[in-house]
Amino acid sequence: MTPSPPTSAERREELKACFTDARGCVRCPQLASTRTQVVFGAGNADADLMFVGEAPGAKEDEQGVPFVGAAGKLLSQLLGEVGLSREDVFVANVLKCRPPGNRDPAPVEIENCQEYLWRQIELIEPRVICTLGNFSTKLLRGDPTGISRIHGQPEIRVLGRRAVRLFPIYHPAAALYTRSMLGTLQEDFAKLPALLELPPPDQPEPVEPPVPEPEPEPAPAPEPVAELKPESPPDAPQLGLF
C-alpha cells in the first residue's frame, strides 16, 4: 500500500530537523571554521514559490538569514513590485555557509551542501522554483548552460521526486554592478504572478517503495545432539562430537 503523503505539519517538522542537521555541518572544513553561523533559509515553509541564490554574504553570515544585504533588499523590492512579499516565499541558497571573502562556491562545497537544498525542495513542495544566477541554475538543471541564455524562460523539470516549474533569472546582485540589468530582472519578475497562477505540473508516478523480500524461513535448528539418532551404536566415536 502506498503511504499517504506527509502533512504540511509533518513536512515542517522535517524541515526543522534538516536545519538542525545543517547547523552542525562540518562537511566543508574551511567553511565550517570561518562561518559565524549556518544560513539555512527563511520564509514560508509551505511556499508555492522558492528562490535559490548562491551563498550567504557577510550580512547573511552575521544575521543567519539569507538575502538581507544589498542584493536582498533588491530582491524584496522586486518581489514587492509584483505584489509579493518575503513572507509569501521561501529563500535559500546553494551553499548554507559563507565562502570567505565572498569567493565563488567550490565544486566540492556544492557537492557537500546540495543534500540540504534537495531536502528543502522536497519538504517545502514549491510549485515554482526561481534560481537566481548561474550556480543555482546549473545545479538544479543539472546542465552547464549559463543564465544569460535561459533567464526568463520557465520549464517543467523533475527535481527529486517532484515536477516543478523552474524559472531561472539573473542574480539580483548583477543589477547592483550593472544598472541596465535592473530592467531585465524586472521583466523576468513580472512573469512570476502568471506562472504562479498556472496549475501545478503533472507529477511523475510515485516510485513504489520496494516490496521487502519476505524474511527467509529460519534454517531449521540443528537437531540437538542428544536427539541425534546415530545409525551406529550410541557409543560409536565416529559422530565427530567433541
* Residues making contact with ligand URA (CB under 6 A): 53-57, 60, 66-67, 69, 71-72, 93, 173
Q: How far is the CB of 8 from ligand URA (least distance, A)?
A: 25
> Whose Cβ is closer to ligand URA: residue 19's or residue 200's?
19
What distance separates the 2 farthest-apart alpha carbons in the chain? Answer: 102
Task: Copy the grid coordinates of residue 209.
Answer: 517503495
CB closer to ligand URA out of 64 and 201: 64
Q: Give the residue with the Cβ less far from ligand URA, 60 or 188.
A: 60
Give the count of alpha carbons within 13 A of 15, CB side only.
24
Q: Of 72 and 154, which has the nearer Cβ to ligand URA?
A: 72
What Å distances lie between residue 78 and 45, 82, 86, 92, CA to CA? 21, 7, 10, 17
- Of 43 and 66, nearer to ligand URA (C-beta) is 66
- Sign of the torsion formed by the C-alpha atoms of 1, 157, 138 and 80: negative
Least distance CB 215 / ligand URA (angstroms): 49
Integer angstrom CA distances of residue 235 from 225, 226, 231, 240: 13, 12, 11, 12
CB of 35 to ligand URA, least distance (A): 13
C-beta closer to ligand URA: residue 43 or 53: 53
Q: Do the strands 155-159 and 90-93 form a parallel or antiparallel pair, or are they unpaired?
A: unpaired
| Minimum distance of ligand URA from residue 5's CB (angstroms) | 30
Nearest distance from residue 58's CB to ligand URA, in Å? 9
Closest CA to 70 of 58, 86, 81: 58
Residue closest to ligand URA (Cβ) = 53
Q: How far is the CB of 71 from ligand URA (least distance, A)?
A: 4
